[in-house]
Structure formats: structure tokens, C-alpha cells
Amino acid sequence: MIPFSKIQNQKSDLIEIEKALKYGKLEGGGNFSSKVNDRLVKLGYKNNLLTTSCTSALEMSAILLDLKEGDEIIMPSYTFVSTANAFLLRGCTPVFVDIQKSDLNINPSAIEEAISTRTKAIVVVHYGGVSCDMDKILGIANKNNIHIIEDAAQCINAFYKSSPLGSIGSFGALSFHNTKNISAGEGGSLIVNDSKFHKRALIVHEKGTNRHDFRIGKISKYEWRDVGGSFILSELSCALLYSQILHLNKITKSRLKIWNDYNEFCTNHDGFKNFFNTQKIPSYSKHNAHLYYLKFKSKKLANKFSLGMQECGVQTATHYVALHSSKFGKVNAKYIGNMNNTNQASTCLVRLPLWEGLDSSRVISAMSKTLMRL
């Protein structure tokens, strides 16, 4: 059986973890944290705060924007629950809007329709490492004096034009969860792009204290200064992440080859167009091959394909249950406009295995056999 996902260990992982153990300082903010941050700076992220998860990074952004009960945050419904929970925790109302049919990213026109006097931020989710139309969205946000938060969980080494995803809005949030292109098991980073938030972000990151200034020798004691949380990523996790990030270009190259193999097969057979659509990559987007999906014309076709692939020895996966249609979402959030594209993606999408070192020819052979039987 070819698994849907697989841990992408690198030969240097254990070496770097052993170094961290020998240093004997495993709490966050140490040597490996600095090494990872240096690497992120080279990728184009200037102000990084490594966090325990992308969820934590999003929660920090909500704190830094001083969001409160009654504020509205516009976001796609086709996303992971953390995108909404981070703001619901501050008493905000998530306002869900539809996605585009072509790439499953948030529809800029739907954003405009959802803006109200209570709107405080727009959360864009770059689905699968494929960029949203940031020029259009920035124009909408600037016209209405609204902050943009980039949920760039799937986006390490992906770009909008020449800008890394996560570096464009007021804040960006990366994920280093085990399912991502590089991993610390769990982990994330808050990218603070708006300079007016830099100083406070350091305090919120350090449990609401000015411990950062203490660590660099600016003060002799640190104290409670603000609200905050235990957001800092441990040195042990940073050691693993450092090993992974050293191999980022190699990993991306391997994944892109698999993605291109899939895409060539799926788009060069006219007969398959009756079954599914694939993700369209806009000219402004340089993606990182985080995932490859087929969006079938019906739920029945999607289920038959998944069962057929299983019989051929290949594990596939669906993706998000649309948040606006979930039991909790119906009570604690609202949506504006029709959600046709979101509903279809939620019920008809199938993802193919995609991990470094995968033999794409085996998956393509299974696809060919399965599709011929649909």
C-alpha cells in the first residue's frame, strides 16, 4: 500500500537533535531557534517568532490586533478549524465567504460583499501553497482600512510574484506540522510584517513579559507587561526543524516533480475532463507542491475513485468539511453569499499521495486503471 502521507526524515535529523540534547538547554529561544530564524530570514521572512503551532501564531495575531467581542473576521469556509478558532477565542464572529472554482482560494469579490462596519480583518488561506490574488485583496483591505492575516500554513517556499507567502499581510502564519513540506512534528511561526506590532509581539510571545529584553541583556529583571501565552517552540523541535529546513530546496524539487507528473497525466487526457477538474495555478503564483487534488463532478464519482485507488494499493484522502456547514460553525459563525464552490470542494475533492521520494508512476498506473473503470 502506498500511504497518503509519510514522514520525510532527513539523514541530519538525528544529528541535530543529538546536538540539542548535548547543549542541555531545551526551552525555546536558544541556539537552534536562532539558526532557524536565520534561515527564514534568507527565505524572505524578516520578523519571525517561532511558535508551538500555526494555530498559536494565528492566536497571537488576534491578540496583537486587540480583537474583541462583536468584531467580524472574513475568511474562507474551506479551511482548517484553527483559522476560525483563533478569532472565536477573542469573541469575534467568523464571517465565511466562498472560494474560487479554479484554485479553491478565497474569492476577492465575495470579500467585498461581506465587509461591514464591524469587519476588522481578512484572513486569506493560500490553499495548497498556491497564492491568493493578493493585489486585489490588498486593494480591498487598504480601501476599507482592514488588516490582512495570511494563513500560510501550507506555504513554506511558495510565493506570490517574488514575495514569500506569509510576508505580505500585517501578519503571516506558517505551519511545521508533521503533514507539511518540512516538519518539527508540531510547530509554526508568526511573521510580523507590520513594524508597529514588533515590540508588543515579543512580549505576547514571552507569556506577556519582557523576558526577551532580559535574555539579550537589556534589563536585569523581567516582569508582566501584557496578555500573552506559552507560544515559544522548544529547542528540541527547533533542532529537527533546522535539519529539515536545510533540505528545503531538495524536498521542494522532489515534490514538484511528483506534482508535475500527476498534472501531465491528468490534463493530457481529454476523456478525464468528464470526471474531474484540477487546480489551476495562476501566473502570479509559484507554488511548493504541497498537495495535488482532483475535484470530481459528483460525490459519487469521488467515492468510487477513492475505493478504486484503495483496491489498487494507493491511499487517498479527502480534505476539509466546510466550516459553515459544521454543527459548531452554524451556531458560532455566519456566511455571506452562496457557498457553491465551497460545498463542492467539501464533498467532491480527493487528494493524491505526495511526499519526497514517492514513485509517482505507481500512483499514475493506479489512477489509469481506476479511471478507466469509472
Query: CATH no. for residue 259?
Result: 3.90.1150.10
pLDDT of residue 244: 97
Establish if 122 belongs to a structural domain: yes
Establish if 315 belongs to a structural domain: yes
Query: CATH no. for residue 53?
Result: 3.40.640.10
- Angstrom CA distances, 284 to 103, 215, 281, 306, 341, stand at 13, 41, 8, 32, 22
Establish if 4 belongs to a structural domain: no
Who contacts 345 (Cβ-Cβ below 8 Å, separation ≥6)? 78, 99, 104, 295, 319, 320, 322
Q: Examine the domain organization and report whether 63 and 180 are in the same domain.
A: yes
216: number of Cβ within 10 Å: 9
pLDDT of residue 263: 97
Q: Examine the domain organization and report whether 179 and 284 are in the same domain.
A: no
- DSSP codes joined into one string, 198-233: HHHHHHHHBTTB-HHHHHTTS-SS--B-S---B-BP
Residue 242's closest CA among 23, 3, 65, 88?
A: 23
Query: Where among 246, 263, 290 does a domain terminate?
Result: 246
Q: Examine the domain organization and report whether 242 and 367 are in the same domain.
A: no
Which three cell numbers, joined as nine digits, stand for 80?
482548517
- CB contact at 8 A, 116 and 146: no
Q: Examine the domain organization and report whether 275 and 184 are in the same domain.
A: no
Helix, strand, or coil (residue 276): strand
Q: Examine the domain organization and report whether 43 and 191 are in the same domain.
A: yes
Q: Examine the domain organization and report whether 173 and 267 are in the same domain.
A: no
Establish if 157 belongs to a structural domain: yes
Q: Examine the domain organization and report whether 88 and 119 are in the same domain.
A: yes
Least confident segment among 6-15, 25-34, 81-90, 268-277: 268-277
Torsion, Cα 77 80 84 90, to 10 degrees, reads 180
pLDDT bucket at 8, cuts 50 / 70 / 90: confident
Query: Where among 227, 246, 265 does a domain terminate?
Result: 246
pLDDT of residue 321: 97
- CB contact at 8 A, 121 and 216: no
pLDDT in tens, 212-247: 999 999 999 999 999 999 999 999 999 999 999 999
Res. 269: pLDDT tops 90: no
Helix, strand, or coil (residue 192): strand
Burial class (CB in 10 A: 0-12, 13-18, 19+), 304: middle
Establish if 5 belongs to a structural domain: no
pLDDT in tens, 182-214: 999 999 999 999 999 999 999 999 999 999 999
pLDDT in tens, 315-373: 999 999 999 999 999 999 999 999 999 999 999 999 999 999 999 999 999 999 999 99
Q: Examine the domain organization and report whether 62 and 157 are in the same domain.
A: yes
Distance between CA atoms of 194 and 55, rounded to whole angstroms?
A: 20
Which three cell numbers, joined as nine digits, stand for 252?
521542494
Q: Examine the domain organization and report whether 109 and 134 are in the same domain.
A: yes
Q: Examine the domain organization and report whether 216 and 352 are in the same domain.
A: no
Res. 271: pLDDT tops 90: no
Name the DSSP letter for residue 242. Answer: H
Q: Examine the domain organization and report whether 240 and 127 are in the same domain.
A: yes
Name the DSSP letter for residue 130. Answer: P
pLDDT of residue 298: 97
Establish if 3 belongs to a structural domain: no
pLDDT in tens, 125-177: 999 999 999 999 999 999 999 999 999 999 999 999 999 999 999 999 999 99
Q: How many domains, the chain?
A: 2
- The structure's pTM equals 0.97
Mean confidence (pLDDT) of the chain: 97
Least confident segment among 16-25, 239-248, 267-276: 267-276
pLDDT of residue 144: 98
Distance between CA atoms of 64 and 60, rounded to whole angstroms?
A: 6
Res. 24: pLDDT tops 90: no
Domain hosting 263: range is 248-372
Res. 273: pLDDT tops 90: no
Establish if 2 belongs to a structural domain: no
- DSSP codes joined into one string, 291-358: --EEEESSHHHHHHHHHHHHHTTB--B--PPPGGGSHHHHHH-EE-S--HHHHHHHHHEEEPP--TT-
